[in-house]
Chain A
Amino acid sequence: MIKTDVAIIGAGVNGCAIARELSRYKLDITVIDRCSDVCEGTSKANSGIIHSGYDAKSGTLMAKLNVRGNLLMHTLSKELDIPFKKNGSLVLCFSQEDMGKLEELKERGEKNKVPGLKILSRDEVLKKEPNISDNVYAALWAPTGSIACPFIMTVAFAENAIKNGAKFMMSTLVTDVSGKENDGYVIKTSKGEEIEADIVINAAGVYADAIHNMVSKNKIKITPRKGEYILYDKNVGNYVTSTLFQLPTALGKGTLVTPTVHGNLMTGPTAEDIRDKEGTDTTAAGTALLKKKAVLSVKEGYGRNPITEFAGLRATLTEACELNNFEDEYLGCGDFMIGEVKDAPGFIDVAGMGSPGLSCAPATAEYVRELVGKIKELKEKEDFNPVRKGIKAVNGATEEEIEALIKEDPRYANIICRCERVSEAEIVQAIHSILPATTLDAIKRRTRAGMGRCQSGFCNPRVVEILARELGVDESEINKAQDGSYYVLSKDAN
Chain B
Amino acid sequence: MKAQLVVIGGGPAGMAAALKAYENGVKDILILERDNTLGGILNQCIHNGFGLHTFKEELTGPEYALRYVHMLKDTDIKYMLNTMVIDVTGRGDKDNELKDIKDACVVTAMNGEMGLLKIEAEAVVLAMGCREKTRGALNIPGFRPSGVFTAGCAQRYSNIEGLMCGKKVVIVGSGDIGLIMARRMVLEGAKVICVAEIMPYSGGLRRNIMQCLDDYDIPLYFRHTVTKIEGKDRLTGVVICEVGDDFAPIPGTKKHYDCDTLLLSCGLIPENELSVAAGMELDPKTGGPFVNKDFETPKRGIFACGNVLHVHDLVDNVSKESVLAGEGAAKLILEGVKDWGEVQELKLPAKSQNTIPKDFDKTRQVICIRCPRGCLVTADKKEDGTLDITGNSCPMGFEFATNEMTAPKRTVTSFVSIKGKKNPVPVKTKGEIPKSSVFECMKTIKAVELDREVKVGDVIIENVAGTGIDVVATGETDGI
Tell me the residues in window 398-425 of chain A with beta carbons closer than 8 Å to chain B beta carbons: 399, 402-403, 406-407, 410-415, 418-419, 421
Query: A residues within 8 A CB of B478?
Result: none
Q: Which chain A positions have C-beta within 8 A of B360?
A: none
Binary CB contact string for chain B from 207 to 247 against chain A (1 if under 8 A, 0 otherwise): 00000000000000000000111001110000000000000
Assess whether B164 is in contact with A493, with CB atoms less than 8 Å apart.
Answer: yes
Interface status of A330 (Cβ within 8 A of chain B): no
With an 8 A cutoff between CB atoms, is B90 at the interface? no
Q: Does B338 contact A (CB under 8 A)?
A: no
B167 touches A489 (CB 8 A): yes
With contact pairs A489-B166, A494-B164 given, residues A479 and B146 touching in the complex (Cβ less than 8 Å): yes
B479 interface contact, C-beta 8 A: no
**How many angstroms between the C-alpha atoms of A287 and B164 in the bound complex?**
33
A286 to B111, CA, bound (A): 44
List chain B residues, Cβ under 8 A from A406: 110, 112, 115-116
A418 CA to B35 CA, complexed, in Å = 11
Instruction: List A95-145 residues whose CB lies under 8 Å from chain B.
Output: none
Whether A407 touches B131, Cβ cut-off 8 Å, given contacts A484-B234, A494-B188, is no
Once the chains bind, are B163 and A399 in contact (CB under 8 Å)?
A: no
Name the interface size band of chain B: 35 or more
Q: Closest CB-CB distance, A25 to chain B, in whole Å?
A: 38
Tell me the complex Cα distance, A287–B142, Å. 11
The answer to whether residues A458 and B162 also contact, given A306-B137, A413-B112 and a CB cut-off of 8 A, is no
Task: Select the residue from A287, A421, A461, A482 with max chain B CB neighbours within 10 A.
Answer: A461
Residue interface bits A259-289, CB-to-B below 8 A is 1, else 0: 0000000000000000000101111101100
Q: B153 to A282, Cβ gap below 8 A?
A: no
- B446 CB within 8 Å of chain A: yes
Residues in A whose Cβ lies below 8 Å from that of B227: 284
Specify which chain A residues have a CB less than 8 angstroms from the CB of B134 in the assembled complex. 307-308, 453-455, 457
Q: Once the chains bind, are A287 and B233 in contact (CB under 8 Å)? A: no
Label chain B's interface by main secondary structure. mixed
Q: Tell whether, in the assembled complex, residue B112 and residue A461 are in contact, meaning their CB atoms are under 8 Å apart.
A: no
Output the least CB separation between B147 and chain A (Å).
8
In the assembled complex, which residues on chain A have CB atoms less than 8 Å from the CB atom of B147?
Answer: 487
CA distance A421 to B131 in the complex (A): 15
Asked if residues B163 and A489 are in contact (CB atoms below 8 Å), the reply is: yes
Does A480 interact with chain B (Cβ within 8 Å)?
yes
Distance of A136 Cα from B431 Cα, bound (Å): 69
CB contact list, A350-405 vs B, under 8 A: 399, 402-403
* A406-B110, A411-B112, A484-B233 known; A309-B139 Cβ under 8 A: yes
Given A235-B276, A306-B136: A402 in contact with B167 (beta carbons within 8 A): no
Within 8 Å by CB of A461, from B86, B135, B136, B156, lies B156
Interface membership of A465, Cβ < 8 A: yes
Specify the chain B residue showing the minimal Cβ separation from A439: B146
Contact A457:B228 (CB < 8 A) given known A307-B134, A308-B136, A406-B110: no
Q: Does A488 contact B (CB under 8 A)?
A: yes
Q: 18 A-B contacts, Cβ less than 8 Å apart? A: A280-B144, A281-B229, A307-B136, A309-B136, A403-B116, A406-B110, A410-B112, A413-B110, A418-B271, A454-B132, A454-B134, A457-B134, A457-B153, A460-B149, A476-B163, A484-B233, A487-B157, A489-B166
Shortest Cβ-Cβ A-B pairs, 4 listed: A410-B112, A308-B136, A480-B146, A485-B233
Q: Which residues of B contact A (CB under 8 A)?
A: 34, 82, 84, 86, 108, 110-113, 115-116, 131-132, 134-137, 139, 141-147, 149-150, 152-153, 156-157, 160-167, 188-189, 227-229, 232-234, 249, 271, 273, 276, 417, 446
Given contact pairs A413-B84, A461-B153, a sample of 14 additional A-B residue pairs in the complex whose CB atoms are under 8 Å apart: A280-B143, A280-B144, A306-B137, A308-B136, A402-B110, A413-B110, A413-B111, A413-B112, A440-B146, A457-B150, A460-B153, A476-B163, A480-B146, A481-B146
